[in-house]
Amino acid sequence: MADHLSLVQTADGSSTIFNNLVGENYHSRHGALQESQHVFLKSGLQHFLNLSGATAVDVLEVGFGTGLNFLISADYCRTAGINLQYTGIEAYPLSEELIFATGYEQYVSDGTWQAFKEIYSPALASVQTLSKACSLEVAVTKLMDFDASRSFDVMYFDAFAEIHQPEMWSLEALAHITRFIKPGGVFVTYAITGNLKRALKSLGFSIEKAPGAPGKREMLRATKNL
């Protein structure tokens, strides 16, 4: 395990990883699982599926990290009969040892967890099939270097907080990455600031304040205008 990374327990009993170089946890200390479920699964993926009635969804995550957002999304889609294509962007992928020590197998089905364990590696740069209805690709690159030949229905923006990584939240970074969202597609993140709202509005998104995960009053959800 890298010296600057350590497993810590959050308030809901689920684990996250603390990055000493950045000075921040990968998830909320108020509850890693609760944050992932509320911000990304319920407010992002399920919101899009409920509105669109789609039976297939393409998700792009900025900050793949521990894989928790992917795991709960894949497990939900497996149960709901939704085809999922999932792409994560991660400049500094975590080791198998660290990810498999998180204990996240207790929050998803055995089938989802075992399929993930079989295909995950820090060099997961090609599309891997977990099942007939689920695929995963992790782009090992920085946000500004990311490129894709397709666009996405839902974007999970799960970068470290702006105070620690201001370059990830700049207008330039947001303009680059949100061009991969389809018209009508949904952008969700745990944060909400005036700068973020103004940036997304200027990029052609309709902004919505939504209730935040435990420890946060509000979060941001934005829909790309048609």
Residue 161: which domain range? Answer: 31-224
Identify the helix (H) or strand (E) that includes residue 80: helix 68-80
CATH of the domain at 48: 3.40.50.150
Distance CA 87, CA 136 (A): 6
Residue 163 lies in a domain: yes
Residue 40 lies in a domain: yes
Residue 141 lies in a domain: yes
Split into its structural domains, the chain has a count of 1
Handedness of CA 137, 143, 147, 150 (dihedral sign): positive
Residue 8 lies in a domain: no
Q: Is the pLDDT of residue 151 over 70?
A: yes
92-110, pLDDT tens digit by residue? Answer: 999 999 999 999 999 999 9
Residue 61 lies in a domain: yes
Dump the DSSP string for 96-130. HHHHHTS-GGGGS-HHHHHHHHHH--TT--S-EEE
pLDDT of residue 3: 84
Q: Is the pLDDT of residue 126 over 80?
A: no
Least confident window among 15-19, 145-149, 203-207, 214-218: 214-218
Residue 147 lies in a domain: yes
**pTM of the prediction?**
0.95
